[in-house]
């Protein structure tokens, strides 16, 4: 039996071992474990543009709580049901909050909604890959920016559109977006609220690949499976080293790298990689984790 009582079976797809699990539905999203080391999370409020509400954050944070201590989960693919990745905050829920709860709590809506989730994704040991199937705007764009990798369908539209509803980027976008596309492009996106098509997003480095809609999830799964096949300790160390480089100076980064390398060289996957190279065979990483 798989996680949460889901049954599974093993098959082979294009030479890659695939673990096929049943879909598990929560109130606002569903998840699957389609390949070793890989989980797919699909935001499932298509009638509301996969808008973010506190229940979605609760569901997603619960999954991260479950998966972070489990090295059999190494890469999480995030996508949206229907035609939209995520339109950011659900404006119906947000309006109700502004009228009825904000005067009591004196806390902005995003403090209960997307802000805790983007923070957690950035800090997590898990590698997150956003498969952007449609529009990703405002908090929906910030959701993708918090991920480590982003690929997009040709139907995707991306925009830091907070200003169109009288807001400034409030869920990490004001910090993440300039790091990814540069200060000038980030300023234009945030100050105009304009949308970028997938090709322009690719040209700016906002996404690393653009594929046809039918190829989005197969491409995301292939990439996630290849990444998940790498040594899990090295994946975690690499994610954190790349994130830390955004704020560290060179000397601090080199010092941290020294100690990380010392630790990784004491792990069995390091010797396995060398032995496999010398013996001219594929390495067998993460042994025992995906059985």
- Whether the pTM exceeds 0.75: the reply is yes
Q: Is the pLDDT assigned to residue 6 strictly greater than 70?
A: no
**Backbone φ and ψ of 182, nearest 5°:** 95, 155
- Residue ranges per domain, the chain? 3-228, 232-278
- Split at pLDDT 50, 70, 90, the class of 15 is very low
Average pLDDT of the segment spanning 149-162: 97
Percentage of the chain modeled with pLDDT above 90:
72
**Chain segment 63-112, per-residue pLDDT in tens:** 999 999 999 999 999 999 999 999 998 889 889 988 998 889 888 887 77
Q: Is the pLDDT assigned to residue 188 strictly greater than 50?
A: yes
Give the least confident one: 213-222, 229-238, 255-264, 266-275. Answer: 255-264
Q: Classify residue 172 as left (phi > 0), alpha (psi -120 to 50) or beta.
A: left
**Chain segment 43-60, per-residue pLDDT in tens:** 999 999 999 999 999 999
Give the least confident one: 2-16, 71-85, 219-233. Answer: 2-16
Average per-residue pLDDT in the chain? Answer: 90
Cβ atoms of 82 and 46 within 8 Å: the answer is yes
| Whole-angstrom distance, CA of residue 25 vs CA of residue 39 | 13
CA–chain centroid gap for 14, Å, is 25
- Split at pLDDT 50, 70, 90, the class of 20 is low
Between residues 281 and 290, the one the model is more confident about: 281
Is domain 3-228 classified as CATH 3.40.630.30? no
């Amino acid at each position: 039996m798989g996680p949460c009582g889901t049954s599974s079976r093993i098959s082979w797809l294009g030479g890659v071992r695939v673990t096929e699990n049943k879909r598990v539905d929560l109130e606002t999203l569903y998840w699957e474990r389609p390949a070793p080391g890989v989980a797919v999370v699909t935001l499932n409020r298509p009638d509301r543009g996969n808008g973010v509400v506190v229940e979605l954050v609760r569901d997603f944070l619960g999954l991260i709580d479950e998966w972070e201590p489990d090295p059999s989960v190494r890469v999480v693919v995030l996508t949206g049901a229907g035609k939209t990745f995520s339109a950011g905050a659900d404006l119906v829920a947000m309006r109700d909050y502004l009228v009825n709860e904000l005067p009591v709590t004196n806390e902005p809506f995003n403090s209960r909604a997307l802000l805790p989730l983007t923070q957690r994704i950035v800090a997590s040991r898990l590698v997150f890959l956003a498969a952007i199937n449609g529009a990703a705007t405002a908090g929906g764009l910030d959701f993708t920016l918090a991920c480590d990798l982003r690929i997009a369908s040709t139907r995707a539209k991306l925009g830091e559109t907070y200003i169109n509803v009288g807001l400034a980027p409030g869920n990490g976008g004001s910090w993440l977006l300039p790091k990814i596309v540069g200060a000038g492009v980030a300023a234009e996106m945030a100050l105009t609220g304009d949308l970028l098509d997938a090709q322009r997003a690719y040209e700016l480095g906002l996404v690393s690949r653009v594929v046809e809609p039918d190829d989005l999830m197969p491409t995301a799964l292939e990439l996630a499976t290849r990444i998940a096949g790498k040594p899990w300790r090295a994946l975690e160390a690499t994610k954190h080293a790349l994130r830390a480089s955004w704020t560290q100076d060179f000397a601090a980064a080199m010092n941290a790298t020294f100690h990380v390398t010392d630790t990784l060289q004491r792990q069995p996957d390091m010797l396995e990689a060398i032995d496999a190279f010398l013996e001219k065979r594929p390495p067998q990483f993460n042994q025992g984790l995906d059985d």
